[in-house]
Structure 1
């Protein structure tokens, strides 16, 4: 009986080893479904296509604009060039508005959106965001002759905002009785202030400082109207591989100080705010 028992145990252990080996093979090999997820990543699509399509707002200088030769230029465009260079692909900058940033991602018209894209929980329900690459507060752009010193002077006046941005909601949250007029682009909103169709424009303080530098008749109020805004790259929801790649790209250009150098090139100063909240 003892030899038989030892034989049974040996057979049992042999069978168990076989099962474990089979299980190990299953873990090592990729299932068709896993392979499909990897191959369907935007990262792989860009590399195979040989072209990176970046959605950027080219009416939002110095983040994005057309230079005198009609070519895309600006802070965001420089970042896009660095990303394409790292990937070894050509760059195609797709002119984008605030309103169509998310639709363009969802329909795969672009691979990633820069365009001063503020991260918030509502947008995160439908797209994914990278870690921040630039931080801003918000202020008002007004005529120097307007007498407007802060948003407290805006009661019963008109504030210009851009369609699809969060600025309108932020103004309403201040509880001040103002009229909000939406425009299709930042340049249209600025023109409304210049022509007296709006008393002020609310926008990213970085952007407004650049606009005031271009026009001595304009000035930016010295205030932070909302909590700091952490702007990031937007990508189609659910593509973790592409998101990981972009986050590592941002980590590298921040660690090397390249991002800070590009910011100073376009805004004439070092970044004012840390990219992560300081606790």
Structure 2
């Protein structure tokens, strides 16, 4: 399986035509161009362990990285991992700077308005984490507390979608937002936040890697969800090709091998 380094790639995956002083996107499916160019550009947040992140050598690794490498091999193309501002992920996709969003990308109704999703490949939930000695025991105990999450993340969407409108009970009636989940965890460890909401896959991996800090996960959460790959709405052929490759991986055992590597416990 290839282990590629991240590098910048611009303009792949979507043809554009100039209109006056601006640019207008076409509705051309980019799969044929990806095959012709021989490169699939994957947009990701390179701090989102264990899905896609940098190891001690600075290489981009992770569960989704291994999946993407294997899918690219089945499509007979190279893969390039392009770190992006997660808050601008859909903009990067629509502009053609990346071909897919693949990094613990949760299916939500709001995102369905902007992108097409592959078939879901992993289940997840939005968990609430506090420090071990915190007085917080339930979701209701978040009332009046400082709660943080990553900006433009599905955690924020899940909090805002909660039927109890609990966000209105938080300190300042809002969620404190940070660019990365590392910042979110650092905020909790420092005591600036009293609780954080993160993807369970990331949260449990992070806690395992930072055992010197005593965290606790509440039994309550902000809902179950699923991960999938995000494509432009016109990229039906690419969506089908990625779905077929993932199905092949599940059938031949490759998916299970990669899963065991990152989520053995």
1:71 aligns with 2:66: no
Per-residue CA deviations over 1:157-196 (Å, capped at 9, x if unaligned) read 1111111113224224243311310111111111111111
Picking from 233, 256, 265, the partner of 1:237 is 233
Q: Secondary structure at the match of 1:146?
A: coil
Structure 1 position 203 matched with structure 2 position 203: no
Contact 1:137 1:224 in 2 (8 A): no
Structure 1: distance between partners of 2:253 and 2:49: 22
Cα RMSD, aligned residues only: 1.8
Could you tell me how far 1:54 is from its partner in structure 2?
A: 0.6
| Correspondence for 1:17 | none
Does the Cα contact within 8 Å between 1:119 and 1:229 map onto a contact in 2?
yes
TM-score by length of 2: 0.81
Aligned partners of 1:235 and 1:49: how far apart in 2?
18
Secondary structure class of the residue paired with 1:226 = strand
Whole-angstrom CA distance in 2 between matches of 1:207 and 1:105:
23
- Asked which structure has the greater CA Rg, the reply is 1
Question: How far is the alpha carbon of 1:223 from its aligned partner?
Answer: 2.6
Q: Would the alpha carbon gap of residues 224 and 96 (structure 1) be closer, same or farther in structure 2, given more than 3 Å must change?
A: farther
Count of residue pairs brought into register by the alignment: 231
**Which range is displaced more, 61-70 or 256-265?**
256-265
When you count helix as a share of all residues, which structure comes out higher?
Answer: 1
Structure 1 unaligned runs (5+)? 1-38, 270-279
Please, what TM-score do these two structures have when normalized by structure 1?
Answer: 0.77
- Following superposition, the deviation at residue 118 of structure 1 comes to 1.2
Quick check: 1:53–1:92 contact (8 Å CA) kept in 2? yes
Change beyond 3 A, Cα 1:51–1:196:
same
**Of 130, 141, 162, which aligns to 1:153?**
141
Match of 1:168 in 2: 156
SS in 2 for 1:136: strand
Residue in structure 1 matched with residue 21 of structure 2 by the alignment? none
Given candidates 162, 178, 188, the residue that maps to 1:183 is 178
In the TM superposition, what whole-angstrom CA distance separates every residue of 1:97-147 from its partner, at most 9, and x where no partner exists?
331211111001111111211112221112111100111012112211223
Q: Which segments of 5 or more consecutive residues in structure 2 lack a partner in the other structure? A: 1-26
- The whole-number CA distance in structure 2 between the counterparts of 1:77 and 1:126 is 23
Q: Distance in 2 between matches of 1:79 and 1:220?
A: 30
1:96 aligns with 2:88: no
Indicate conservation of the 8 Å contact 2:45/2:53, yes or no. yes
> Equivalent residue of 1:221, what SS?
strand
C-alpha separation in 1, matches of 2:237 and 2:38: 18
2:243 alignment partner in structure 1: 247
Matches of residues 1-279 of structure 1 in structure 2 within 5 Å?
40-172=28-160, 173=162, 174-176=164-166, 177-179=169-171, 180-216=175-211, 217-269=213-265
